[in-house]
Structure 1
Amino acid sequence: MTASNEPKIWGLHSQDERLLIEKGVVALGWRELGDLSGFPDDREVFKAHFAQIYPHAKKGQIPTSAGMLYRFIHEAQVGDFVVFPSKTSRLIHLGIIEGGYSYDHVALEYVHQRQVRWVNKLPRTAFSQGALYEIGSFLSFFLVKNYADEFLAAFDKNFKPFSAETEDETIGATAEEIVESTKDFILKELSKHLKGYELEEFVADLLRVMGYRTTVSAKGGDSGIDIVAYKDELPPRILVQVKSGQGDITEATIQSLKGAMREGDYGLFVTLADYKKKAARYLEATPIIRGINGTELVELILKYYEDLDDKYQRLIPLKKVYIPVPLAD
């Protein structure tokens, strides 16, 4: 058997565990799309149909949702494996796809179905933290890649569950992935929703919760100063420039901030991107100006998130959780 023909392992999420287990199927929703059995092996056709049926769907939702249906119908093959983590029983169900696509007109919601034979079910404690994190995807149907070997081994009757006495080496990687994906999410939301003056308002609010008194310059001002901040009623004055573009900041741009500063002022430059090498060296040589790049801005947001204005918490919705981390040496 060639590598291209090796069975894949698919992850599935569903709210109707009873339907899946009792009927022996894997299933997806989107009833309004109708029977897709006659649709060609073409992602663009699926995307166009999804957009037509759901004209008010968000732009990013169309390729994601249509892509899941395409993979479910055309990429998943008989003989492929399925991993279904139940939120009800907290068990991991393992199955093998045994039939092609069918549309169940009687089903209330999960109408797009394929027959599956469930061969095993195991507690979540049987798997490493990294494997559990991978199948915790937000997608309804997805390809398991990073921990495919671990799930594949679970189909063997001689499978040895992950031992609680064994150190889980995936915990550190899992924790790092969660942290990094959260940072990526924050930066993407800022880039998507806050441009120009809106980002200036956001930075001013962040500085406020950090203990600064801030005034945002009027829209359209040509002074090059976006925010004026004070730690208290007395000097020094801090002049802040904010850039929402994706391009890295040049030395000349920072020098323009320096040119607007008077004796005794301090400067702060905030960008969602980063600084070019010459600009970074200029900042190092000019201690009265502090530069904050996108990564550093996200760190500050995480630190002061709970005190940000409610509208910004809604813009960047985060939930405080505890995640496992490796024991310190």
Structure 2
Amino acid sequence: MTPKVWCIHNNEPSLKLVQDGFVSIGWEELGDLAELVSNKEALKTRLLDTFPDAKPGAIPGWAGTLRRFVLDMQIGDIVIAPNKSDRTLSLGTIAGDYYFDPSATLHPNRRKVTWHNTGIPRAQFSEKALYEIGSVLTVFAVKRHANEFAAALEPKSNLNAVEAEPATTATNAAVEDAETAEETPNASRVEEFTRDRLETILRTGLSPSEFEEFIAALLRAMGYYARVTSYSGDGGIDVIAHRDAFGLEGDIIKVQCKQTISPIGGPTVQALLGAVAEGEKALFVSLGGYTRDAEFLDRSKHALRLLRGTDLIDLLLRHYESLDDEWRQRIPMRRVYAVDVVSGSD
């Protein structure tokens, strides 16, 4: 039987899901869910008694979430765990039945997971697949792009995005509960889509030299004077920035730009430090992340800063209005308001 594919949104960064091998949901106030979820109407009544101030329509949705987590998810099913803090996905398989951890003060409702492929950059998946897993629900079955995520279960799988045929999905009841919420736009989903789209533009819509020009433009939008160095023989320095017009006052910042989502290692970062003179600062910009040895350099060298893809998108969104007209035309955005729909006590 083809395993189902599930996505679980966990908004508690303090939980070590990958290190400790589990996924979890909240609703701590309900206690052990093992017997409570067997009767859907009794579960709704318990939820209403426990959360009397719940918004209209929230109770049926919460009941569906709890039943999917405890009853519908089966051992061997595939689970996707998005990490909002570093914008990566981790993929694993359910390794055990539901259990309640009485020693856990946060998210005691858990399922054991064997993680197969962790910390995958979101950019390795299609935008449509990423939009599907942006559902407002805490626990839901992935239908339209299940095969794309299943193919990425092993680290060396082919991650070329395709329009996947739906894999076997959850029970009719679970699908019925989730259908509307999965399709409903919400503030979080719009934000994730915007960030995914910006990352795609920066990664595939610009040449390497244009990416360097963009970094210089962003630094100018932040109040620096910045210029791109010669594209050949630059010694690894792609952009030079400083606060005054002539670069004679304050620190000189030497920037290296990598238009990649692959982790940058310590030796590459150390090479940048080797090109920085006394009194100068080093800034490494990447669309991805960094290895542990590179992170150690970031912590131990006061003249060094590592800029990750998430940091770069944050700065772009924060300083967009100050960008040159050329770049606002190439990366068109406008300010909008979106209804912030929340999934509940997860």
Query: TM-score band (shorter)?
Result: 0.3 to 0.5
Q: Which has the higher contact order (CA 8 A, sep 6+)?
A: 2
TM-score of the two chains, using structure 1 as the length reference: 0.48
